[in-house]
Amino acid sequence: MARLTAGTYEVEVRSVALGTTQSGKEQIGIEFANDEGSITWYGYFHTDGAYKYTCKILLLLGWDPVTHRWAMEQLVDEGAINGAKASIEIEDEEYQGKTTAKVKWINLPGSSGMRNKMDKTDAERFAERLRRRYMGDAPKIKTADEFREDAAKGEGPEMGPDDDFNLDSVPF
């Protein structure tokens, strides 16, 4: 089966494996698959943050480690979460000069992970507020270079004394 590439997919758990990293840290591998392909997500337990995130994912997939007294063999031998559905977001990650697709987020099925999605009307209103705030009556969107030039001249969006705005942090 092909490996899933960068994107968002509706998937289900195909299999679970337990193992260790090259440095000996325990890990869990959860293989997600759909008709397009599969990919494995790795969860870890060696730091508090990694432990909490891995537990969160297991809960999301329908398995409570505390209720099951950490009987991890249920996940492997009994396939306790096989078939569990999820929505995953995959991004390309570069490591040591090699680009690999990695599972970045695991969410409930049909979800992007955002708690309160805007509907079309709210999104249009939001876009209009942004246009009024950052474009005024101008019919075209300024480029990053134009914003920098305006900032150098002391011009640009109206900013209050509490606004913490850095043009270098604008993602365009």
In this prediction, residue 9 carries a pLDDT of: 94
Task: Tell me which amino acid residue 5 is.
Answer: T
Shared domain check, 103 and 20: yes
Distance CA 119, CA 123 (A): 6
Task: Tell me which amino acid residue 86 is.
Answer: A
18-27, 70-79, 123-132: segment of lowest average pLDDT: 123-132
Shared domain check, 83 and 17: yes
Mean pLDDT of the chain: 83
Shared domain check, 124 and 100: no
The greatest distance separating any two alpha carbons of the chain, rounded to the nearest whole angstrom, comes to: 67
Per the structure, the complete domain to which residue 91 belongs is given by 7-107
Shared domain check, 12 and 81: yes
**pLDDT surpassing 90 at residue 120:** no
Shared domain check, 85 and 58: yes
CA dihedral 118, 120, 126, 131 (to 10 degrees): 150
In a domain, 94, yes or no: yes
Shared domain check, 135 and 69: no
Shared domain check, 55 and 129: no
CA angle 24, 26, 31 (to 5 degrees): 120
**pLDDT surpassing 50 at residue 96:** yes
Which band of pLDDT confidence, cut at 50, 70 and 90, is reported for residue 156? low
In a domain, 114, yes or no: no
In this prediction, residue 166 carries a pLDDT of: 52
Name the DSSP class of 80.
T
**pLDDT surpassing 70 at residue 47:** yes
In a domain, 115, yes or no: no
For the chain, what's the residue count? 172
In a domain, 169, yes or no: no
Shared domain check, 124 and 88: no
Name the DSSP class of 59.
H
Q: Number of structural domains, the chain?
A: 2
Percent of the chain with pLDDT over 70: 78
Distance CA 171, CA 80 (A): 42
In this prediction, residue 39 carries a pLDDT of: 98
Shared domain check, 90 and 47: yes
Token duo for residue 87: 């929505």
In a domain, 34, yes or no: yes
Distance CA 64, CA 56 (A): 9
In this prediction, residue 168 carries a pLDDT of: 54
In this prediction, residue 116 carries a pLDDT of: 72
